[in-house]
Amino acid sequence: MLNFKTISIVSCIALLGLIICNSSWIFMVLVVVIWFVITGLGSGLIGWNYHLKSVLSNAKTSKKAVAITFDDGPNSQFTPQVLALLNRFNAKATFFCIGKHAENHPDILKQIIGDGHTVGNHTYSHSNNFGFFSTQKVISELKKTNTIIENFTGLKMNLYRPAFGVTNPNISKAVKVLGLTSVGWNVRSLDTTSRNSGTVLNRITKHIKAGDIILLHDTSEKTLIVLEQLLLFLQQKNLASVTIDALCDLKPYE
């Protein structure tokens, strides 16, 4: 398995060897470029577990179930409709909440928990520059969101979903300092792209199996359409929708 530490050590050894052998600078540049490419991809692809090990699925589960997860809420327009759909199908899900949105919509946050769903940390600001934050700034964001959720619900969250799925050494250190469990996915719906609902649904259901973790966002009408059809599909396949902690035997709160 590729990881940041291993690739960095191998790259340093390769560079040192090239220097000792007085090799061409072209080969040295090539090693550096390869390191940057691999590290760049590893930072953006959560499935690599490159900087930070995340829970991606539970392929060994004996449960006939999947975990539907929602990022970026609570959203005053769409989250209540998502909750209504989940209740209609007796389905459970996991909501990775942005702190500032939870702060603005505490009633929806409480409804999520009251309906039996799980909540996790999805940073406070979900800033486009989050991947460039210092370790201390990442810690501050995550602690702020945890405090907001605890103040409203009394729950101390253990689960974290990286913003944009981006990880790096600073984020990895912050997660370890706070003792959080990072949760990724192995089925990315791409529901926030320009793809239509049919394409998004097909992307999810094409190879779906027990133990999968599905990424959706409770932020659009398109996702509502996809969610209803997905829940019908799961019902037909005799696959339950459960919380991430139930699927992967995680501890969601202290």
Query: What does the domain layout of the chain look like in residue ranges?
Result: 4-44, 54-248
Catalytic residues: 71, 217
> pLDDT, tens digit, for every residue of 119-173?
999 999 999 999 999 999 999 999 999 999 999 999 999 999 999 999 999 999 9
Cα dist. 76→145, 192, 212 in Å? 18, 17, 28
If pLDDT is split at 50, 70 and 90, which confidence band does 20 have?
confident
pLDDT above 70 (res 178): yes
Which pTM value belongs to this model?
A: 0.94
d(CA 174, CA 139): 5
Note the CATH number of domain 54-248: 3.20.20.370
Cα dist. 128→69, 144, 163 in Å? 21, 18, 9
Query: What is the pLDDT averaged over residues 199-222?
Result: 97
Query: What is the pLDDT averaged over residues 188-214?
Result: 97
pLDDT above 80 (res 1): no
